[in-house]
Chain A
Amino acid sequence: MIEFSHIEKSFFGVKVLKEVSFTAKPGQTVGIVGENGAGKSTLMNILGGNLRADAGLMRLKGQPYAPASSGDAERAGIAFIHQELNLFANLSIAENLFLRGFPRNRTWLPFINRRQMSERTRKLLREVDLAHSPDTLVERLSAGERQLVEIAKALALDARLIILDEPTTSLTARETERLFAIMARLRQRGISMLYISHSLGHVLQLCDEIVVLRDGAVAAYEPTPQFTMDRLVSLMVGRAITQLFPARESKATDQVVLEVHGVSQPGVVRDITFQLHRGEILGVSGLMGAGRSELARIVFGLDPCAVGDIRLNAESISRLPPGERIRRGLAFLTEDRRAEGLCLEASIADNVTLAALRDLTRPAVGWLDRPKARAEVNRIRDAVKLTAAARNEQAVKTLSGGNQQKVVLAKWLLNEPKVFILDEPTRGIDIGAKHEIYRLIHELAARGAGVLMISSEVEELIGMCDRIIVMRRGRIHDTIMPREFDRERILRSALHDGALA
């Protein structure tokens, strides 16, 4: 279906793609893995017509293929499904599917044939198992359903090659299963897919062949059975990470640092009670919508709580605004770092100091102690091992995902938090940065902080936590101790119906 042969690309004399060659046959799914900066995006931009290769050739269905624009790629039957979805939330499903070319009543009149559009949408939605009316607004769909609409959109364009870039990051386990089932069906229809992801488990599960990119070159290109998780990781980073999760050198204590007692908020969480100890890493598992992030927001004071009490070091903080909770030692790494974690246009220094400003200024007039702020920024950026190439005045948006996440961590670590709530701390970042973040979490626990770690990656929780609580429909459904740590056991608890395959 698509063949890459000896693709090369340089930016300003720096080679970012070197002799990249591989092939996806009709009906085949090829996984592309690699660390951030390995060249995956550049390669996909060349395929999509946004960039031109310096050397090498692409063949589509045997014909030389050299797209000059993204329109060319689309006409050639190539569809891209990105991590950040490109749907218009304020439009209906049908409108999203046909935005590039609405069916018309008469070709020379600009009126849309609504009936034909609805019918074709209904047919497409059936193919992706989505039971919604074509007129449903996309904003009312869940992340998983939107992903399926994206696939329907690709089918509407009659795509023969679909590129999926991190399609599962915002999906629940169940939605992911559903997506994979539909992908299997597309494969039977002879549609080829390129699957780009950091979730190596999914790649191993789904793909027929895997291409490992490292520093712009193909480090390995073999059928999937030739790979194991460990081998993939060491091929990606070029060295063997013997253990993804670093060894823990400290232990949880039995001193309670955070106590959540009987917390309820109608329609969000019900009767939540748990204790977090000094030096403990407490995992929170559950499906999307189980109330995990909502609980974190309540503990941090961003959302109200109708009933119950939250105590930090035996002092009630339930009525304090977030700023005061931060001063008492709470920190919160949010799930969506672009929307809530960072001021992307602002500098690294301004982002890092934002939560600690009160301590960096004289109380009465708020006069900023600039030398102290500068020293603190430098201290903390070394601690989180932020890339040395980035200057403190540089805008955060220019950094890679992993480094952006390190900036968010630096912001909170500057305060020496007593309780750190982390909501999906490693989402969408590469394996090296992940490892670094795990190490920082361990360090924090070793210094006696309590860590509340929310994650949809069960392996991550098993690898990191002292205890895992499982939430379901706004309640704590289960508390799992290390001897019972088991992927299936945890997922079963989150789903409760025991129907997990």
Chain B
Amino acid sequence: MGREREPEVKAMSAAESSPARTEAPVALRLLRRAFLSEHLVLGLCLVYFAALAPFTPGFASWSNLQTVLAYALPILVVSVGLTLVLIIGGIDLSVTSIIALASVVGGKIMSGDEGWLAGHALAVPVALVAMLAVGFGIGAINGLAVTACRIPAFIATLTTMMFISGLAIWFTLSRKIGGLPSGFVMLGQQLWLAAAIAGIATGIAYLALARTLYGKWLYAIGHNSRAALVSGVPVARVTFFTYVASGLFAGLAAILFTAALETGNPEMARDNLLDVVGAVVIGGTSLYGGKGRVSGTVFGVLFLALVDNSLNLLGLTFYTITMVKGGLILAAALTDALRNKLLAGR
């Protein structure tokens, strides 16, 4: 019966300017507009910050905000990569395991204590390239599994996650790798440097999505991959490269994580998968594909980082914080459903 919906739509848009709508209380209308705004999450960040700052000792201090940022930057990089995958209607559960493996591979190469290239002038560049290469390689495996072997993304990346996490631990015999060169550690210690790296990566992803052929193709595949194929989009190739991109972003995140924590750690980012998926979903990216923006992910990451930090300052335990975050992600999903319903009704 969808064929005859058009007059109703017209009728509804006519109703928008009718008196009934304008008579609603001003506050309610503002609230409705804020709720439907694209920058809802940014607003939430500000409101949350303003609301908790008076009650949370040290929350608003400059040094604490730097801590929030330092925590958020690596998460942001990996979340941006995952955003791309979600837009095509896929999922990449292996990102945190990529971070762990890249971290120990990098550590094993450049560590002054036990590194293969300990003290060598090229140790840091080689390690950086190797860490990105780990991301690239595992992303390529995921991409091949999904496109050439037609394995559902959930299973493909779940199995790579299990395998890669195990590999990272086996590779180091479950030990952390210390003694990283100061030139590398600087990337994490100098906040501006980490911010610049994350900012450039995010900016590239933003422009690619909003302004390029590649971005348009991603959205088309997410909306309807069969229609995209008929319209000449090289669906398999684009899908493959999207998983590679996700792997590369995870590799870059591994560099920031490892530098910030000054160790190669086989369990690095193990508990962050929830943060990453959650941040992307809170940022408004749909798990069904076709919908999502980098800016949303930036705000989603910022929001979860603020929540995490403030609850830590309030002395809540890790488990309680995890419960709160889970609740927030659920709320985000419900909000998204409600927003879609309201937007559809306009």
Q: At the interface, yes or no: A432 with Cβ under 8 Å from chain B?
A: no
Indicate which residue in A44, A323, A354 contacts B234 across the interface (CB closer than 8 Å). Answer: A323
Indicate which residue in A14, A350, A355, A370 contacts B232 across the interface (CB closer than 8 Å). Answer: A355
Q: Which residue of B lies closest to A16 (CB)?
A: B7
* Chain B residue contacts of A36, Cβ below 8 A: 3-4, 6
User: Assuming A16-B7, A346-B290, is B213 touching A354 (CB within 8 A)?
Assistant: no
Q: At the interface, yes or no: B226 with Cβ under 8 Å from chain A?
A: yes
Interface contact A343-B228, CB-CB below 8 Å: yes
A480-492 interface mask toward B, CB cutoff 8 Å, 1 = contact, 0 = none?
0000000000000
* Chain A residue contacts of B3, Cβ below 8 A: 36, 41, 400-402, 428-430
Segment of A18-26, A52-60, A357-365 in the binding face: A357-365
CB distance from A253 to the nearest CB of B (A): 27
Segment of A223-231, A263-271, A280-288, A334-342 in the binding face: A334-342
* Chain A residue contacts of B229, Cβ below 8 A: 302, 322
Q: At the interface, yes or no: A143 with Cβ under 8 Å from chain B?
A: no
Indicate which residue in A353, A368, A401 contacts B212 across the interface (CB closer than 8 Å). Answer: A368
Q: At the interface, yes or no: B12 with Cβ under 8 Å from chain A?
A: yes
**CB contact list, A4-61 vs B, under 8 A:** 11-14, 16, 36-42, 44-45
Tell me the complex Cα distance, A344–B7, Å.
18
Tell me the complex Cα distance, A357–B5, Å.
30
Interface contact B217-A339, CB-CB below 8 Å: no
**CB contact list, A164-206 vs B, under 8 A:** 165
Q: At the interface, yes or no: A327 with Cβ under 8 Å from chain B?
A: yes
Indicate which residue in A11, A346, A357, A402 contacts B217 across the interface (CB closer than 8 Å). Answer: A357
Q: At the interface, yes or no: A476 with Cβ under 8 Å from chain B?
A: no
Q: Which residue of B lies closest to A333 (CB)?
A: B230
**CB contact list, B205-231 vs A, under 8 A:** 211-214, 216-217, 219-220, 223-224, 226-231
* Chain A residue contacts of B214, Cβ below 8 A: 366
User: Assuming A302-B229, A368-B216, A389-B10, is B4 touching A400 (CB within 8 A)?
Assistant: yes
Indicate which residue in B9, B211, B220, B226 contacts A354 across the interface (CB closer than 8 Å). Answer: B220
Interface contact A11-B11, CB-CB below 8 Å: yes
CB distance from A340 to the nearest CB of B (A): 5
Q: At the interface, yes or no: A345 with Cβ under 8 Å from chain B?
A: yes
Interface contact B12-A12, CB-CB below 8 Å: yes
* Chain A residue contacts of B5, Cβ below 8 A: 398, 400
Interface contact B231-A355, CB-CB below 8 Å: yes
**CB contact list, A343-392 vs B, under 8 A:** 343-346, 350, 353-355, 357-358, 361, 365-368, 370, 387, 389
A-B contact pairs, 17 of them (CB 8 A): A11-B7, A12-B12, A12-B18, A13-B11, A14-B7, A14-B10, A165-B1, A302-B230, A322-B229, A325-B232, A340-B224, A343-B290, A357-B216, A367-B212, A368-B216, A398-B5, A401-B2
Which residues of chain B have a CB within 8 Å of any CB of chain A?
1-12, 14-15, 18, 211-214, 216-217, 219-220, 223-224, 226-234, 290-291
7 additional contacts (CB under 8 A) given A325-B232, A339-B227, A343-B220: A12-B14, A37-B7, A326-B231, A326-B232, A342-B227, A367-B212, A368-B216
Which residues of chain A have a CB within 8 Å of any CB of chain B?
11-14, 16, 36-42, 44-45, 82, 165, 300, 302, 321-327, 332, 334, 339-346, 350, 353-355, 357-358, 361, 365-368, 370, 387, 389, 397-403, 411, 428-430
